[in-house]
């Protein structure tokens, strides 16, 4: 099992926990909790694969079910203590964000797609699971409102594209990109940075 | 026309009625009612086909439009009397649940997919139409909350997989699986059984 | 650049503006506004392409990003003045509706699909972007409620099918169909025509 696999599974578990927690707070039943966790974990990658007409990754690779199940169990068992765990959860989620960005961007590169499309695929992989989670739970997607989240993913995808362009060693690309995404996210949350919001109350 | 076709069309009509009724209660216009009925009827199968990269069934087979139209008409005509019809509607919906489960699971088997994926496809076929219906009507999907619904579909898919494994006669597989799904559902509703719900109010 | 390209880009910009405005009113951040504008512009065509298993148009053709970006910028800059611009926005949106209907219907014809499916694809292309916009913003899709909107698209698709059947010159088909869709929409809004709404408060 490579370091890539360990990070991948960590990301899946973290996203499953984040989905399960939202569902638990909406008082869904056990099945609903599993579905939301599942959709949060694999939703982004599923949309990515459908958009580029690649076989959907979890249909081919059934082993993604187990870390999702683990995430749901952890969320249910620790649901009252997760307040204390929120720091580590945040770290896992951010690792997931970084890793999913890389996976999505790399798939775009391997399919010889335009750099803008590669960035889009990386960002969709990383953040669309959370969008689906929020839609299923009837909330406005959090990533449209919260601190620099998808933006960290976009910047990570750009960095990864540049590093790949210069054919650096793949592990260096992975580590450096993850580092960038995680650092941006940590700084944004620490200093409560947000993207500017313009709004209007004009009726059209 | 085989018994399979009759059950299939019955399921489509039942799901169309259930979609149309939700839409009517949300005061959508006639077009909106049709779209919701359509999405409820074909949504699960459409997602299933897209996930495994199979041609979407209703694109190839235009005759699915007519039972949907029939379901919409029935819902509009009888919209004030459906309270009295709710028992037969429930039965149709349950037949649809059983049948769609079988169709989805069988497609997974024919594509030589892992049993867990076959079960997932069966459940998606049977219950995702209702999820889309509720998302379009801006509600939290009912199946995440109500009595044993998707769970009946999961158990039915497992039973069907086992029966198929032993190469029993196809009609026996169909009838026995439908019987299991319908029985579970009837017992669950009769005794108001629900899946356990764990929840948390902890902020994370 | 043909007149078709100009209309196409106008449609993309108009739909992007309409998406961005809804997002601005929901107080989303800049990234959220862009995503909603993007989904509104390309959502319908994306679903159409996935349903018929055609390569998704904006994955192949990256130049769609620029008019969307333009639409977002215009919406942000003029967000307080769009009240005054609403008439021209309405016109753009209606042009987009007409054009997207034609594009979707024509793709169906080129794939030799059944006329009902061609009409469905035309309507999905034209109106599903707005549905996705409203789902992402946690609203009941507007097109299910407002004046003759998707209905204009359906009628346009039927007209286009008939004209194409008689192998009229393509430009005439385009112009006449657009004219029909725009006229229906203008009359519907001018006289506040709506589809009939039946509803029920019966619990089922």
pLDDT band at A201 (very low <50, low <70, confident <90, very high): low
**CB burial of residue C112 (10 Å; 0-12, 13-18, 19+):** exposed
Look at residue C170 in the predicted model and tell me its pLDDT.
Answer: 80
CB interface of C with B, residues 147-166, below 8 Å: 150-151, 154
Q: Do B79 and C150 touch (CB under 8 A)?
A: no
Does residue C201 lie within any of the structural domains?
no
Q: Do B117 and A59 touch (CB under 8 A)?
A: yes
Residue A102 half-sphere exposure, CB side, CA atoms within 13 Å? Answer: 25
What digits encode the pLDDT tens for the residues B80-91?
A: 776 666 666 677
Does residue C72 lie within any of the structural domains?
yes
Whether residue B145 is predicted with pLDDT greater than 70 in this model: the reply is no
Does residue C196 lie within any of the structural domains?
no
**In chain A, which residues have their Cβ closer than 8 Å to the Cβ of B196?**
29-30
- In angstroms, the CA A193 to CA A184 distance is 10
Does residue A85 lie within any of the structural domains?
yes
Q: Do C136 and A138 touch (CB under 8 A)?
A: no
In this structure, what are the phi and psi dihedrals at residue A79, rounded to the nearest 5 degrees? -60, -25
Interface check for C110 against chain A (CB to CB < 8 A): the answer is no
- In angstroms, the CA C133 to CA C48 distance is 16
Interface check for B118 against chain A (CB to CB < 8 A): the answer is no
Does residue A183 lie within any of the structural domains?
yes
**In chain C, which residues have their Cβ closer than 8 Å to the Cβ of B36?**
144
What digits encode the pLDDT tens for the residues C139-160?
A: 777 776 666 788 889 999 999 9
Q: Are B49 and C171 in contact (CB under 8 A)?
A: no
Does residue C200 lie within any of the structural domains?
no
The closest of B130, B89, B124 to B103, measured between CA atoms, is B124
Look at residue A160 in the predicted model and tell me its pLDDT.
Answer: 94
Residues with Cβ within 8 Å of B166's Cβ and at least 6 positions away in sequence, in order, are: none
Interface check for B86 against chain C (CB to CB < 8 A): the answer is yes
- Percent of chain C residues past pLDDT 90, beyond the cut: 33
| Largest Cα span, chain C | 56
**In chain B, which residues have their Cβ closer than 8 Å to the Cβ of A30?**
195-198
- The alpha carbon dihedral of A114, A119, A124, A125 has a sign of positive
Searching chain C, which residue's CA lies closest to the CA of residue A115? C62
- In angstroms, the CA C52 to CA C109 distance is 12
Q: Do C24 and A194 touch (CB under 8 A)?
A: no
- In angstroms, the CA C113 to CA B67 distance is 20
Q: What residues make up the domain containing A9? A: 3-190
- What ipTM, to 2 d.p.? 0.83
Q: Do B197 and A89 touch (CB under 8 A)?
A: no
- Percent of chain B residues past pLDDT 70, beyond the cut: 87
CB interface of B with C, residues 3-32, below 8 Å: 21, 23-32
In angstroms, what separates the C-alpha of C2 from chain B's closest C-alpha? 31
Does residue C203 lie within any of the structural domains?
no
Does residue C144 lie within any of the structural domains?
yes
Residue in the structure block whose two tokens are 């690779």? A61
The closest of A196, A150, A193, A148 to C76, measured between CA atoms, is A196
Searching chain C, which residue's CA lies closest to the CA of residue B60? C113
What digits encode the pLDDT tens for the residues C157-201?
A: 999 999 998 888 888 888 899 889 989 988 888 887 777 676 665
Number of domains in chain B: 1
**In chain C, which residues have their Cβ closer than 8 Å to the Cβ of A198?**
24, 30, 33, 76, 79
């Amino acid at each position: 099992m490579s370091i890539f696999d360990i990070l991948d599974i960590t990301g899946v578990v973290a996203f499953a926990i984040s989905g399960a927690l939202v569902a638990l707070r909406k008082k869904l039943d056990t099945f609903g909790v599993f579905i939301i966790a599942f959709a949060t974990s694999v939703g982004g990658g599923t949309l990515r694969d459908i958009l580029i007409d690649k076989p959907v990754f979890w249909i081919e690779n059934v082993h993604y079910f187990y870390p999702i199940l683990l995430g749901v169990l952890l969320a249910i068992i620790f649901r009252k203590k997760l307040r204390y765990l929120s720091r580590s959860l945040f770290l896992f989620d951010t690792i997931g964000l970084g890793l999913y960005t890389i996976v999505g961007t790399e798939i775009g590169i391997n399919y010889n797609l335009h750099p803008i499309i590669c960035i889009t695929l990386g960002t969709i992989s990383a953040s669309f699971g959370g969008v689906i989670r929020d839609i299923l739970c009837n909330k406005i997607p959090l990533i449209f409102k919260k601190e620099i989240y998808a933006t960290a993913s976009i910047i990570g995808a750009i960095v990864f594209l540049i590093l790949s362009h210069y054919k650096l060693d793949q592990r260096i690309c992975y580590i450096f990109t993850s580092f960038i995404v995680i650092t941006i996210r940590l700084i944004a949350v620490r200093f409560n940075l947000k993207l500017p919001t313009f709004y209007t109350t004009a009726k059209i």
